[in-house]
Amino acid sequence: MPGIYLFTVFTVTYVKNHHHQSLIHMGLANSTSIALEEPSDKHTATLYYFSGRGKADQIRWMLAATEVDFTQKIVGHRDHFVTMSSRQLPFGQLPLLQIDSMEIVQSQAIVRYLAKRSHLEGKSIEHTTKCDMIAEAINDFIPLLCQCPFRKYNGTTLTDVGQLNINVKEWEAHHSMLLDKWFFLGNRLEAILKTNLPLYGKKKQQGPSPSVGSAVSVEDYDMGDVFMVGRSLTYADILTAHLVTWFVEECGTEAMRSMPLLVALQHKVFSLPGDSIYLTCPSQLLTNHPVSVTNFL
């Protein structure tokens, strides 16, 4: 079990790389003696991952939304990964982010670091905890999305009807489970926004405040002020918008019809300056363009 071996030897090491730049590197004990993957000297951050969305996609969105200039290095071959793993991946896994003279692994540690770096972790300990709760709920769902490419019809020729049928059935089963789970999670996330609407949303027109328990009309409020946690943008908003986008790409927009507040939030995050640039740049995204679902508003 390589993970156990790595754990026994990992230590906090200060490594001088070839550019004589100090890297705070939580790596392997003997890593000072061998060449490591070095961060780009042209960009603030360098992200290493396989060619795909997977565990790196939230990080890409966090980098973009917080306007960090970053580049990506794709680990495309097993040999490359194995070499990296033995040299500078403390737990033998990607993603790895090099930023601020640090090497950070574990996707959620990276996401939270980027949140803190841009003061998006919540304005109080209570808000930070709420953000973390939402992030964890989202992360329970992400593996289902990660599995989609492997569950889909994967290029089997049409003459291979038996295999095609297996693939179609497998995808249909996965898709149906995904929808079920989405209706649960999506509705819970929508409910959080709905709760925040009368608390933080500015009323567009003067009128009597809704009494407790009465139905809230989305059209009466300015969604510009409504967020998942508190009354300003947090990383919970970015992860939620990312989740909605990825879900819609896999399953279509139909399931979003009953979740207008989530759609509005996705649009809001989509429009952040960093995201606007990132999301229109295919070489950054490495996957299809995300779909905006704002036309359902």
Q: Check residue 107 for interaction with ligand GSH (CB under 6 A).
A: yes
DSSP secondary structure string for all residues of 35-58? --PPPPSSSSEEEEE-SSSGGGHH
In whole angstroms, how close is the CB of 159 to ligand GSH at the nearest point? Answer: 33
State the nearest-atom distance from the C-beta of 129 to ligand GSH, in Å. Answer: 20
Give residues 48-67 in contact with ligand GSH (rule: CB under 6 A): 54-55
Closest C-alpha to 294, from 273, 277, 270: 270
**Tokens, residue 183:** 């209706």
Binding mask 108-127 for ligand GSH (x = CB under 6 A): x-------------------
136 vs 254, beta carbon nearer ligand GSH = 136
Stretches 25-33, 92-100, 150-158, 222-230: which one binds ligand GSH (CB under 6 A)?
92-100
Q: Verify binding: residue 138, ligand GSH, rule CB under 6 A.
A: no
> Can residue 210 be called a binding residue for ligand GSH (CB under 6 A)?
no
DSSP code string of 149-164: HHHS--S--TT-HHHH
Q: Measured between alpha carbons, how far is 125 from 203 in angstroms, rounded to an integer?
A: 28
Round to whole Å and give the CA distance between 98 and 41: 11
Integer angstrom CA distances of residue 286 from 81, 241, 280: 19, 18, 11
**For ligand GSH, which residue of 13, 106, 167, 232 counts as binding (CB under 6 A)?**
106
Residues found near ligand GSH in the complex (CB under 6 A):
54-55, 92-95, 106-108
